[in-house]
Chains A and B, each alone.
Chain A
Amino acid sequence: MHSLLNALLVVVLALNLFALGTSRIITVIKVVSLQGLLLGVMPLLIEEHLALAAVSASAAAILLKGLVIPTMLLRAMRDVQIKREMEPLIGFLPSMLLGALATGFALLFATALPLASEHTTPLLVPAALATIFAGFILLTTRAKAITQIMGYLVLENGIYIFGMLLVGAMPLVVELGALLDLFVAIFVICIMVNHINQTFSSLDTRRLAALKE
């Protein structure tokens, strides 16, 4: 089982880099939804026997991360009529390199962490850290509000991978609650994106600096 899980995690890491390296927002959304689908499968791989909790958590994750949220985002994109992230703070290639660097750092760093022995074998911890870093890079370097949402999503995916460590211990309610939070947050941000677009005629969050006192 572990080898399959590790393979999935490697794909997740590759998707991180892909998301960092592309300028087309639709591609980013698709990449992130694919990442969400993969994450949704993971609880089934970790649990030895299929418990109801694992199945429903996985179903909810696949439904929300893989389908509902990407649909909402695609619709928001269609409403605001943008296709590309034009002017990132640092370029796409450098940010991809930065992501790779962060992944390497996460791998090194995870070995230094004082982890319980059953958590050391799969790539879970380094993958979680690397995904969180990738999310942060997306968040900090992209200017368009909608790409920043993708950053939040990737960041949340990283936290979700961390949650895999506790999938046996964490109650189902917590898992579902976190997913619901995410759903509501994205929902609200989508509305906000529309408002930002209407007010500033652009989705560039740098324009929001005009609001500061």
Chain B
Amino acid sequence: MNGLWMILSAAGLMMASGFPAGFGSRQSAAAQRLAAVLMVLGSLTGLSGLAVALFSSGLCAISLPWHLPWGSFSVGLDALSAVFLIPVFIVPALGSVYGLGYWRQTEHLDNGRGLSLFYGLLAGAMVMVVIARDSVLLLIFWEIMALSAFFLAATENEKPEVRLAGWIYLVATHTGTICLLALFALLRQVSGSFTLYAFDAGSLTAGIAATLFILTVIGFGFKAGIMPLHVWLPGAHANAPSHVSAVMSGVMLKMGVYGILRMLTLLPATEMWNGELLLGLGAVTGILGIAFAIGQSDIKRLLAYSSIENIGIITMGIGLAMMGRVLHRVDFILLGLGGALLHVWNHSLFKSLLFLNSGAIMHAVHTRDMNRMGGLAKFMPRTAGLFLLGAVAICGLPPLNGFVSEWLIYLGLFQSVNAGNGMPWPAIGIGAVALALIGALALACFVKIYSTVFLGQPRFASHASPHDPQPFMHYPMFLLAAGCVVLGILPQVGLPLIQQAAAQWMDPAMQENPLPVSLAPVQWISGAALVLIVVSGIAVTIIRKNIRRQPAVSIGTWSCGYAQPTPRMQYTATSFGEMLVKRFSWALRPRTRQPVITEPFPSKSGFSTTVPDTVLDRIVLPFVRYAGHRMMKLRLLQQGRISIYLLYILIILLFLLCWESLGIGR
């Protein structure tokens, strides 16, 4: 009981953290520091509350008086909520400390205070979303979260591209909310109340269950960024300040995943196609997400697409677990859901690390375009090291954390190969192959980003010499990196909680069955990881010794055998990904503008290529433009004159008066 109260007060602290800054002066750095202190305080309160709640008793709930006509203020904590609360408490707090160096109030007079305000609101609202046990309460905080994220994504709203990304996000998130409204209304119809506790699902017809499932996937899928609902994601992530991108990608997307999991926990699992659909969606999201990532030259857009890919992996795990529920297979549930939940943690660690890192890079070179970077490892060795660590983790390579979660999902998919009975072939085929493909493409993607940004020579001379950022920006990254290492070597620390969460999807009878320890020999992971670290450590020392023996010669890398190489001749980010982009051109549809050479001495010309988002730029925006064109006449209603709008109100008022009192409606 006490633990949940602490979590509630943590949510309050976080939501209030930006308010004092609003009363401070525009120039004062103290208010921003206070906001960061409050965020950290809230996060510590929340984490200790979580610890108290988990070690005292499993389930707890609070109901408070509520004056709205619908719903109730009821919050609760179970293992699933706890799994999602951990990143919610960790990442935003670290991000706010990072913001002290990255987005200094003294340098951002116009938007610094607004940023603090909405940042806190976003973090606190996410806490509430995760612990809400009433759909009305959940929706309220869902909206607070979505709107704060809108204001955060549009922080630099003086730039037109930022505004456009913000509007797209706003439209997307509200389309999702419409589905959620429909979902909760329908749920109220069938369950009789707005509470989010398990109800007697036996009365559901197949049609209603299917509708609920589809609404869940669409409504929460918009936030999670499942393809093709991801349209808002790259723009919003790329244009937000980096610590905001870190929170959005590392935590806010997971709220979509949480919503899907929470709803699926309530709904009955009898239909096989639910799991298959999720597995298929996950595979498509994963493969296309990382393929789009390879095509990007904007470092933050690339990371955003990579988030889509990771959501794909998580969705695949959920799909596998859904099948396990239908087939009553404990191993599918444990491995699939366990892998998905562990990946939620992992992704929130390494993606936040990478986004914070991209902020440090942008501070150093003042651009997001990777084609203009290069050779940064020499100037910012610590940043480069941390980025490498994050990249290794996100590619799912041992000995870091990304490997463990993907390995669990692999194991689950392999189990399904052995299973045979009732398992449709696509699940096996698509799942394992897709996951392998995703892993390989992710590796290619992060080799591209690391080599073009950190290796080689600077492609363009920058104004000032780039250097490692200041401590406020560094410490959060170190902590996140440490998290990646710990979860990679000792996944045992998190598994009990995740197993508890996964147990919610099992029948009571199934729960005594094998534990993941026997399914997934985690201690082997720790052992192998340590061996790997020791071996590579020894190898590195030997190689270094050998290098030291020879005199050092300073020459440019990537000179490709030219006699007079210039840094601009290096492979660019675009050329690095060109082959894979071509391979996926059926989905990516890159836009290339190249000269047609017809004469022996062609005049000066230009070449450019971009990979726009296919769904957004080729389907959604043209459709919206067409609809806007066709509905031009409706704009007559929007005159922009206050008095006309007031006239509308008067007309409606009169109409309602006549309707109700004179009994026209009756």
Contacts and interface: CB of A to CB of B under 8 A. Distances in A.
Are chains A and B native binding partners rather than an unrelated pairing?
yes
A142 interface: yes
A112 B641 contact: no
B600 interface: no
The 7 A-B pairs at the shortest CB distance, nearest first, are namely A209-B640, A212-B640, A136-B650, A140-B647, A140-B643, A139-B646, A140-B646
A177 interface: no
Interface of A: 89, 109, 112-114, 133, 136, 139-143, 148, 151, 205-206, 208-212
Contacts of A112: 661-662
Contacts of A212: 638-640
Q: Label chain B's interface by main secondary structure.
A: helix
B657 interface: yes
Contact of B643 (A114, A205, A211): A205
Interface in B633-664: 638-644, 646-647, 649-650, 653, 657, 661-662
A208 B641 contact: yes
B334 to A, nearest CB: 52
A141 B641 contact: no
Contacts of A133: 650
A94 to B, nearest CB: 15
Q: Label chain A's interface by main secondary structure.
A: helix
Please indicate which of the listed interface residues B640, B641, B643, B647 has the most CB atoms of chain A within 10 Å of its own CB.
B643
B172 to A, nearest CB: 18
Contact of B639 (A113, A143, A148, A209): A209
B659 to A, nearest CB: 13
B661 A208 contact: no
Chain B contact residues (Cβ within 8 angstroms of A): what range?
10 to 19
Given A109-B657, A112-B661, A114-B661, A141 B643 contact: yes
Interface string B441-455: 000000000000000
Nearest to B635: A212
B414 to A, nearest CB: 54
A140 B651 CA distance: 11
Contacts of B653: 136
Contacts of A210: 640
Contacts of B650: 133, 136, 140
Given A109-B657, A140-B650, A148 B640 contact: no
A195 to B, nearest CB: 15
B642 A208 contact: yes
Given A112-B662, A136-B650, A140-B650, A208 B643 contact: no
A84 to B, nearest CB: 18
Contacts of B639: 209, 212
Given A109-B661, A151-B646, A208-B641, 11 more contacts: A109-B657, A113-B661, A136-B646, A139-B646, A140-B643, A140-B644, A140-B647, A148-B643, A205-B641, A205-B642, A211-B640
Given A109-B657, A140-B647, A140-B650, A148 B642 contact: yes
Contacts of B642: 148, 205, 208
7 contacts: A109-B661, A136-B646, A143-B643, A205-B641, A208-B642, A209-B640, A209-B641
Contacts of A141: 643
B358 to A, nearest CB: 32
A109 B656 CA distance: 13
Contacts of A205: 641-643
Given A112-B661, A112-B662, A206 B641 contact: yes
B648 to A, nearest CB: 9
Please indicate which of the listed interface residues A114, A139, A151, A208 has the most CB atoms of chain B within 10 Å of its own CB.
A139
